[in-house]
Structure 1
Amino acid sequence: MSGIHSTLKPKVRSLFAFIQARTGSTRFPKKVIRPIPPGSDKTILDHIHSRVLKILPNSRIVYLIPEGDSELESFLVKNGMLHFSGPLEDVRQRYILASAKFEADAILRLTGDNPFYDTTHLDLLIQTFIESDSDLAYFQGLPLGTGGEVFRTSALLNLSGSQQEERHKEHVSIHIKENPNLYKITAIPSILTKEEGSRLSNFRLTVDTPEDFETISDLLTQRSFESICNFNTKEFLEWENESPSLFRKNLDVPQVRFNLPSPNEKIKGKIGVLVAPAKEFGSGHFSRTSLLYSFLPYRGWEPEWLSTFPKDGEYDILLIDYRDVKIQVPYQRTKVLLLDHFGEEKKKYDLWDLLPHPQNDRIFNWEQILIPPNLISSATIEEKNPLKEYEIFCYAGNLGKEESENLDRFLIQNSSQKRIRIGGTPPKTNEIEYFPRLSRVQYLQTLRSSEKFLGYFGQSLFEALFLKIPSATFSISPIHTELSYVLEKYNIPFTDLSRKTDFSLGTKTVGENGYKLLLEKIDSL
């Protein structure tokens, strides 16, 4: 094994999810294709696949199965799931052969035991890893059965036959984790508060034994397939708080654990992150700041997710993305950075604007707009330049019936070909293709395959502009009207939806360095 910790690593160009599965489990045969709960039409693999599709396209999800497992192969082919067959006993070699076939630079490693993968954390893991120089990364502090790990294929290959021991064949990445001095390993704290993290021992969300199967089956009888597919750790914590007995039946099942060294990370300091609750303020604050949070460990910071203001001095830095919340603690020892804040506190603490607005318009740097890595990198997308399927893509958010109908009339007036609306209420006409919501992967695939974008001032608009999709805005409030007037100065049309409108890229350029600049700002504090 050669040391590659300090080697300059190339950009990840191609990432795949490899999900190892088999029907010949010694303790519980055929568990991966057995209906769960019994009598249903869904299996563990159906649950896994529906979740991973939220973060990766189908073409980047591959099941790694043993040679000769014809029953599992037939199941996967029938359900349109990609598979690769390799050695039964040497799982690591199965990964090596699959990575060569699919030309994978990096691998998200998952197993066929876990129907409740946390796609919020997995998405953040993928997005931050493809922009990093780490060899392996994972989230720590998640319920058993909900997390995964991602690593470079070069690290997987960096083990000669003479160095390989029996455990390396079954436990694919253990040679990386056993050698933190040779490999750069990043452990990211989960996006949970201290109180939430203290309850993780109440969960065993994996299927390794009949007791596990019974517990998971009981959970699945309480919720529909469609609703439970949207459950991540936060939702399971809320559910366990309401019905703790549902989760206790398999807690005594023994779990194999390895005593591995800690990642060899130098910590610069601790950062507390306080974000506006999504239920009250929408998901935008959480989406952008959870990604920022997940980048911090790669740069040597130890972040912690907060629900309240901490004491002064408890953290080296406090990041606040909470609109105009009044800061309840007079911070002196803790350095505070406010993100997109309009309150009086912006005169007292450091401020970082994320979007243009009337107060900062003359000085705002459009490079500061936060563009997520899955828009910048081609490592996880299906096609870099897909065919244009829709003439107009409209994002309507949570608009009501009347506003949605106004949008639909405008879309029909301004396009002669296919148009699609995401959000709002269902259209009255079949001339509009409609989805109340899409997964992030589906959203980006659809946006990329559209000629024009219509939306109100917000992240979706700037993502469309970054992708060089001509755009126009409409208003959903007086504040959004003011913000659209700012963009009009840069030739991005603002429409009242009553007449035909041009679409434009404007005269400003949305750059790809927003997170990099913000992280450099945090380092400078």
Structure 2
Amino acid sequence: MSGIRSTPDPFAFIQARLSSSRLNQKVLMSIDEDSNESIIAHLFSRLSKVFPANRIFFLIPNEEKLLADFLSEKEIPFLQGSLENVRDRFIQAAKTVNAKDIFRFTADNPFVDLTSIELMKEALFHLPTRFYNLSMNSLPLGMGCECFSFESLSYQNLEWNEERHQEHVSLHIKENLEVNKIYRLVPPHLSLHQQEISNEIRVTVDEILDLQFIRSLWKHFKNTHPFFGATEVLQFHKDHPEITRVNRNVQQIQFHLPKAKPNQKRIHISYGDPLTYGTGHFERCKSLSIELQMKGYLIFCNSLEESEFDAYIYDARECDIPKKPALAIDHLGKLDADVEKVFFLPHPELREMPNDTISFYTSPLLYTFQSMKEQNNHILVYAGSLAQDQSLLLDKFVIERVLPLSKEAAIIRIGGAQPKASEILYYPRIEKSVFYEYLNSASLFITYYGIGMLESLFLKKRTLLYGIGPVHDRLGIFFSKQYAVPYLGNVEHLNFERQMLNERNPNIKIEITAQEKIIRWLAGL
């Protein structure tokens, strides 16, 4: 046994054709009137943020040479199959590339929500069966997708082989509840109000009015956030309702499907405002929400709903705990005896602090990178919400003190303010999959105390810590003393010594198991 967990490795299949009855050759049309970037090319670029390029395939009919020539010219992978029997097109493609888990997209939806895709990929880690269909509810039309197994896709039965089952790839899966488990997840990154109004927006291309709206969206976001998601589209809807109304009356085909009976136990998760507490609480609560939903719980995140819930989970440091039964995450304040506690991060005030094992919680997508070959070709810096002055101090320190002693020529910084130094490759924000990819290929990770620190150590990366304020200074010093991870000091007074680059990673066993106590607590209610 290698000790490395087996991880899902899904494919992205995008069904595409040119012979649309309502808007012919729509997928080759430009999303920008001032450029030649087509709908289909943008979708490939977008999906490449969350899937390896060798696991993305457009599935096109055998007869469509124009589309095949276009994809070939753009060096976009594709497979060909039946025009009418789209389900068989998927089955044959899956056999060709040995796809076990398949995300299905359509080429007329160029702006799929990448956060939802990543969360659905997390859900694959928690599947109890190989016969399933998985999707995310309450997204604007055209921003979602679905995922299913090859076993469910290829399940043969005369009852599920009508013409409509051949045309609509997964319809037979969703109609056959005796064989398949159907998961309809709630998006934890959207508020309840956003979920309720999402059906007012069409982000798909069926008619010319849809194309007009798609181009308006792209014009608004292309320079600042080209891979925008559902959160940004819903804010755009709030700010510009006159634009999102332009295609509201376009007709959409709908199916009435049988519904499975969900577990009605309602759990509320409260997390700290990312602007105040940083993004760590929000990110791990998203992952926790998905894991609990896959276990049958109905999850509400930071809901303003006044109704009562069956249990309450709080992740906002020393917040008040007004309702019970309750569980508090990383809470060091005084709590009633009947409030359960769990810790996702080590802390100096904990009574029991193991020296050889750390149990924490993060996205299970991290497992995907555990067995990948290291490249060690850059220094990765995480700056969170650092202001301009602090960001520039951090850049200056890395360029002048760290880079000359390192073999790498590249510095990648995520977060913080816009850099001035040309040596810095900067991303104000980044998809989780891309962050893990950069982290896994880094020779050195410089960050402050938090989940990213443990993610880095989990991947056995050399890690340096710095402080961003009194609380993180104290925690960074504690962690450095407890686990021998070098601490550089506060960002405004950084201190670096050559031997810090030569020190080996501490001999710490890192486990993603902290959530198990929450699962046991909920099961016992």
> Residues of 2 paired with 1:346 and 1:55: CA distance?
43
Query: CA 1:13–1:205 in structure 2 vs 1: closer, same or farther (change >3 Å)?
Result: closer
Q: Is the 8 A contact 1:473 1:493 kept in 2?
A: yes
Once the two structures are TM-superposed, the CA of residue 57 in structure 1 deviates from its matched residue by 2.1
Query: CA 1:100–1:474 in structure 2 vs 1: closer, same or farther (change >3 Å)?
Result: same
Moved more, 42-51 or 112-121: 42-51
Q: Deviations over 1:110-139 (max 9, x none)?
A: 111112211111210111123322411111
Q: Is the 8 A contact 1:18 1:61 kept in 2?
A: yes
> Residues of 1 paired with 2:304 and 2:504: CA distance?
42
- Which of 66, 84, 106 is residue 61 of structure 2 equivalent to? 66
- Which of 259, 264, 269 is residue 265 of structure 2 equivalent to? 269
Q: Is the 8 A contact 1:392 1:419 kept in 2?
A: yes
Aligned to 2:346: 356
Query: CA 1:461–1:33 in structure 2 vs 1: closer, same or farther (change >3 Å)?
Result: same
Aligned to 1:18: 13
Query: CA 1:429–1:226 in structure 2 vs 1: closer, same or farther (change >3 Å)?
Result: closer
Aligned to 1:197: 195
Q: Is the 8 A contact 1:493 1:504 kept in 2?
A: no
Alignment of structure 1 residues 291-440 onto 2, 5 Å: 291-308=287-304, 310=306, 314-327=308-321, 329=322, 331=323, 334-345=324-335, 349-360=339-350, 362-363=352-353, 366-377=357-368, 384-390=371-377, 392-397=379-384, 398=386, 399-423=390-414, 424=416, 434-440=426-432
Answer yes or no: is 1:513 the counterpart of 2:513.
Answer: yes
Q: Is the 8 A contact 2:358 2:508 kept in 1?
A: no
Once the two structures are TM-superposed, the CA of residue 391 in structure 1 deviates from its matched residue by 5.8
SS of residue matched to 1:377? helix
Q: Deviations over 1:452-505 (max 9, x none)?
A: 333221222111111122323222222222222222222222234332114432
Alignment of structure 1 residues 81-230 onto 2, 5 Å: 81-134=76-129, 135-160=132-157, 163-191=160-188, 192-221=190-219, 223-230=220-227
5+ residue gaps, structure 2? 490-494
Letter in 2 for 1:289: C
- Which of 474, 481, 486 is residue 493 of structure 1 equivalent to? 486
Q: Is the 8 A contact 1:12 1:131 kept in 2?
A: no
Answer yes or no: is 1:288 the counterpart of 2:284.
Answer: yes
SS of residue matched to 1:474? strand
Letter in 2 for 1:487: F
Q: Is the 8 A contact 2:112 2:142 kept in 1?
A: yes
> Residues of 2 paired with 1:207 and 1:182: CA distance?
33
Q: Deviations over 1:364-407 (max 9, x none)?
A: 695531132211136xx9xx433524264333333421232123
> Residues of 1 paired with 2:203 and 2:80: CA distance?
27
Query: CA 1:275–1:101 in structure 2 vs 1: closer, same or farther (change >3 Å)?
Result: same
Letter in 2 for 1:454: I
5+ residue gaps, structure 1? 1-9
Letter in 2 for 1:166: E
> Residues of 1 paired with 2:471 and 2:337: CA distance?
22
Aligned to 1:6: none
Letter in 1 for 2:497: R
Q: Deviations over 1:268-303 (max 9, x none)?
A: 511112222223332211111011111112111111
What's the TM-score, normalizing by structure 1? 0.88
Letter in 1 for 2:346: P
> Residues of 1 paired with 2:178 and 2:354: CA distance?
42
> Residues of 1 paired with 2:223 and 2:93: CA distance?
31
> Residues of 2 paired with 1:149 and 1:155: CA distance?
13
Query: CA 1:389–1:290 in structure 2 vs 1: closer, same or farther (change >3 Å)?
Result: same
Once the two structures are TM-superposed, the CA of residue 428 in structure 1 deviates from its matched residue by 6.3
Letter in 1 for 2:13: F
Q: How many residues align?
A: 504
Query: CA 1:364–1:245 in structure 2 vs 1: closer, same or farther (change >3 Å)?
Result: farther
Q: Is the 8 A contact 1:76 1:82 kept in 2?
A: yes
Query: CA 1:291–1:409 in structure 2 vs 1: closer, same or farther (change >3 Å)?
Result: same
SS of residue matched to 2:487? coil
Q: Deviations over 1:150-194 (max 9, x none)?
A: 111111111246851111111111111001121111111223333
Once the two structures are TM-superposed, the CA of residue 19 in structure 1 deviates from its matched residue by 0.8
What fraction of aligned residue pairs are identical, expressed as a percent? 29
Aligned to 1:4: none
> Residues of 1 paired with 2:297 and 2:488: CA distance?
44
Once the two structures are TM-superposed, the CA of residue 348 in structure 1 deviates from its matched residue by 5.9
SS of residue matched to 2:509? coil
Once the two structures are TM-superposed, the CA of residue 451 in structure 1 deviates from its matched residue by 3.0
Once the two structures are TM-superposed, the CA of residue 41 in structure 1 deviates from its matched residue by 2.4
SS of residue matched to 1:407? helix
Once the two structures are TM-superposed, the CA of residue 422 in structure 1 deviates from its matched residue by 1.5
Once the two structures are TM-superposed, the CA of residue 353 in structure 1 deviates from its matched residue by 1.0
Answer yes or no: is 1:475 the counterpart of 2:467.
Answer: yes
SS of residue matched to 2:483? coil
Q: Is the 8 A contact 1:196 1:237 kept in 2?
A: yes
> Residues of 1 paired with 2:73 and 2:345: CA distance?
47
Q: Deviations over 1:319-369 (max 9, x none)?
A: 122233334x3x2xx411111223334766222111001111634695531
Q: Is the 8 A contact 1:121 1:139 kept in 2?
A: yes
SS of residue matched to 2:452? helix
Query: CA 1:163–1:187 in structure 2 vs 1: closer, same or farther (change >3 Å)?
Result: closer
Query: CA 1:503–1:430 in structure 2 vs 1: closer, same or farther (change >3 Å)?
Result: farther
> Residues of 1 paired with 2:181 and 2:271: CA distance?
29
What's the C-alpha RMSD, in Å, of the aligned pairs? Answer: 2.6
Once the two structures are TM-superposed, the CA of residue 439 in structure 1 deviates from its matched residue by 3.0
Letter in 1 for 2:433: V
Q: Deviations over 1:178-211 (max 9, x none)?
A: 0112111111122333322331232111111122
Query: CA 1:454–1:105 in structure 2 vs 1: closer, same or farther (change >3 Å)?
Result: same
Query: CA 1:310–1:353 in structure 2 vs 1: closer, same or farther (change >3 Å)?
Result: farther
